[in-house]
Structure 1
Amino acid sequence: MLLVTVPVYGLELGASPLMLGVILSSQYLLPFLLAIPLGGVVARHGGRVTLLAGALVMTAGLLLMQILPGYYGLIGGQLLIGLAHLQMVLSAQTIISSLATGPKLESYFGWYSTWLSGGQVVGPLLAGGWIQWAGGVDNLFLVMAGIALLGWLSGLALTGDATLGISVTRKQTGFRAQAGLIRKNTGVQVSIAITVAGMFALGVYGSYLPVYLDSLEMSAVMIGVLVSVRSGVSMVIRPFIPKIISAVGGREKATILALCTLSGGLICMGFAGNAPVIGLLSVLVGLGGGLTQPLSMVVLAESVEREQRSGALGMRLMANRAVHFVAPLMFGAVLGVSGFRLSFGLSGLFIALVVVVLMWLQGRQRFR
């Protein structure tokens, strides 16, 4: 819901493209700084505790946006929500990564990301419909706070290994340990490269597509529908990830194909001026994004020992949030001087560059 609500609210406040970039990027600042330490916390205390804590922090951030109108409440709420989202995602990924290996783990992460995309399908539709009905954001942040509390209630049902922590040291989960992994472990390097490309694309798409559609004078409902298309496509294909990997000839080829699809969709986005074409390009972005993120999690989970897994997932999320933090700022700065065509085009070319790096890494040591 925030994918639509925050850009629309920022425009209501009269934010410039660069200011909008600051607002959208602020959600990813604390996760960038704290992802690796939180990985150690999840390992020691178990996923359930941090999942529940994250839901409460998210509720607090949304209430702050509702209670304190203007830029201060918006940026303050974004900071809290970013930290909360990190806690919840890291907890969930740690729990799932311990359940299996191989194609079974691919399937588990496929289903996990399917439901993740499900929220990203329904959320923009609900937010767009509310904004259209209410004539603005109004009490929408309060509604979102109630939904976050439902997440907290569902987290209470977790049992078994999700409630258990393991004994780990800083040498296994700290910054030095993760620096060592990224220096020596090709699987970790590949996972980070996939994450950087995929998150850059989704960060640009999610942050500025609503702004682009608003500049084309589309309604809030249509904006919600088009933003949801990408998530809908990702949701539909993710349960079939093991079959897709098998059909194209392995993870390497599936990854390259997915990133090329992402790159092409973004490059063409700025040249599209009507809803059907933007919808088709959103399908391409959804196909690419739907494959890249589960693949990056599977590759990472199978490349490290269990004691290192939470910290490594935290490092992956740190890279994820760093890209989410930088991408809107870069896009906003370019947009301010050149327009949407060049901004989307350069974003797609950046992903193509990451594909070249990924192919070089895969040439050094092939991953399964």
Structure 2
Amino acid sequence: MAPGGNRGWLLRLVIAFSFAQGAVSMARPAVSYRALALGADERAVGVIAGVYALLPLFAAVPLGRRTDHGRCAPLLPIGVVLISGGCALSGLAGSLWAMALWSGVMGLGHLCFVIGAQSLVARQSAPHEQDRNFGHFTIGASLGQLIGPIAAGGLIGGADMARTSALALLVAGAGAAVAFTSLWRIERPVSGKARTAQGARVPVGRILRARGVPGGILISMAVLSATDILTAYLPVVGEHRGIDPAVIGLLLSLRAAATIACRLVLTPLLRLLGRTLLLTVTCLLAALLCAGIALPVPVWALALMLAVLGFCLGVGQPLSMTTVVQGSPDGARSTALALRLTGNRLGQVAAPAAAGLIAGVAGVAAPFVMLGALLLLSSGVALRSPVAPAQDRSPAEGSERTRLLRRTPR
């Protein structure tokens, strides 16, 4: 399918991503509550949250290589199967070790789905459409992050936390399976001749040295770590402050709703501020707000902080995707996106583990101070777009880039 063609594939991809991400967003807090009910402390919750990212940490680059030289679509149903199975088996697990294992399977499934989906958007979008299409694509993630915690909060509670959290995980597994309904004809098949026409693999070192790629990876890692720690540790904060799980679910969904709002207005924000300033300002504000969660504020103030934080965090992911795609060498876009995801997963392994250690020593709110420091560092990274932003590019240049993409074997 040529870039800029029929966008039915993008709508179907957003719907599928909404269900897959909704299942994961429902399962992550459910895993935390079930682990607490099975006797886990703050350190154990951090370890289980980190295992979610451990298998993807080693699998991302090989999967990206395969996608650069093949098709994206097969990774999507594989990802759905692993997400669904990981959620359901986490609900059936009776030990912390088993929960950690199935949490890792869930994370591997999420990685497969996201690599396939991001590569599909990069291949089937013209350069001037990438900011917009990546923004629309990530709305699927935000919708899932909006619905998942509400569903989890509605199911989890009462005296038997182990049973209700297990039920939430089983429902999440069923919800992930619904994503199959939107995956038909998501990508045009690639002929064997087109596959063999691909060039030699670009070395990873060359990709990492490309202009904009390291900065995009760092921004993405910081933003995702913040989202991940919020999902995993806000329930722990709620337990210590006496906030009901249903309220915690609503707070997490409020954060996701603000992220959706941000991505709906991303294009005018880019025209107003430009990519570099927009990333810097939103990461700085997110750093201050993350650190503020450590304060013993009332629930209404926490809700306000999470709403603004969600808006700020909505910028980093889609713009870092575009920065990495446009900065990567030809024939290595999927691998570059996989390296970005490797950075994400590295943050998801290290950040929860560090959060668990900090929480055990300094209290459950301390990890949010750590997140503030990480986002502050990312706000200082001077990101430079490897090509001119779409709105500043001449029509002739855009047409030439589109013609080149159309000649690239799919």
**DSSP-derived class of the 1:278 partner:** helix
2:378 maps to 1:354: yes
**DSSP-derived class of the 1:14 partner:** coil
Q: What's 1:336 paired with?
A: 360
| CA shift digits 1:282-315 (9 cap, x unpaired) | 1122112100100000111111245101111110
**Number of aligned pairs?**
360
Equivalent of residue 222 in structure 2, options 197, 207, 217: 197
2:235 maps to 1:210: yes
The letter for the 2-side match of 1:260 is L
| 1:163 to 1:314, Cα distance in 2 relative to 1, 3 A | farther
Deviation at 1:30, TM superposition (A): 0.8
What TM-score, normalized to structure 2?
Answer: 0.82
| 1:365 to 1:90, Cα distance in 2 relative to 1, 3 A | closer
Alignment check: 8 A CA contact 1:40 1:168 kept: no
Equivalent of residue 7 in structure 1, options 21, 29, 32: 32
2:100 maps to 1:75: yes
How far, CA to CA, are the matches of 1:159 and 1:152 in structure 2?
14
Q: What's 1:326 paired with?
A: 350
Higher helix proportion, which one?
Answer: 1
Equivalent of residue 178 in structure 2, options 131, 143, 150: 150
2:315 maps to 1:291: yes
How far, CA to CA, are the matches of 1:150 and 1:342 in structure 2?
38
| CA shift digits 1:186-245 (9 cap, x unpaired) | 211221121122122222222211111121111111010011111110012202211111
What TM-score, normalized to structure 1?
Answer: 0.91
> Structure 2 matches for 1:115-194, cutoff 5 A?
115-132=140-157, 136-160=164-188, 166-167=195-196, 172=201, 177-183=203-209, 185-194=210-219
How far, CA to CA, are the matches of 1:168 and 1:297 in structure 2?
26
| 1:186 to 1:214, Cα distance in 2 relative to 1, 3 A | same
Deviation at 1:178, TM superposition (A): 1.9
**DSSP-derived class of the 1:87 partner:** helix
Structure 1 gap ranges (5+): none
Equivalent of residue 242 in structure 1, options 267, 271, 274: 267
| CA shift digits 1:255-308 (9 cap, x unpaired) | 101111210110111104321111111112211210010000011111124510
Alignment check: 8 A CA contact 1:261 1:287 kept: no
The letter for the 2-side match of 1:18 is R
| 1:202 to 1:271, Cα distance in 2 relative to 1, 3 A | same
Alignment check: 8 A CA contact 2:237 2:365 kept: no
Deviation at 1:151, TM superposition (A): 1.3
- Cα RMSD of the aligned pairs, angstroms, is 2.3
Q: What's 2:397 paired with?
A: none
How far, CA to CA, are the matches of 1:247 and 1:162 in structure 2?
39
How far, CA to CA, are the matches of 1:269 and 1:170 in structure 2?
49
How far, CA to CA, are the matches of 1:74 and 1:65 in structure 2?
5
| 1:9 to 1:234, Cα distance in 2 relative to 1, 3 A | same
| 1:163 to 1:319, Cα distance in 2 relative to 1, 3 A | farther
**DSSP-derived class of the 2:125 partner:** coil
Equivalent of residue 333 in structure 2, options 300, 304, 309: 309
| 1:343 to 1:158, Cα distance in 2 relative to 1, 3 A | closer
How far, CA to CA, are the matches of 2:191 and 2:253 in structure 1?
33
How far, CA to CA, are the matches of 1:345 and 1:35 in structure 2?
29
Alignment check: 8 A CA contact 1:90 1:310 kept: yes
Q: What's 1:270 paired with?
A: 294
The letter for the 1-side match of 2:41 is S
How far, CA to CA, are the matches of 2:218 and 2:228 in structure 1?
15
How far, CA to CA, are the matches of 2:120 and 2:296 in structure 1?
41
**DSSP-derived class of the 1:221 partner:** helix
2:282 maps to 1:253: no
Alignment check: 8 A CA contact 1:252 1:367 kept: no
How far, CA to CA, are the matches of 1:365 and 1:170 in structure 2?
22
| CA shift digits 1:78-129 (9 cap, x unpaired) | 1111110000001000000122344521111111111210010000001110
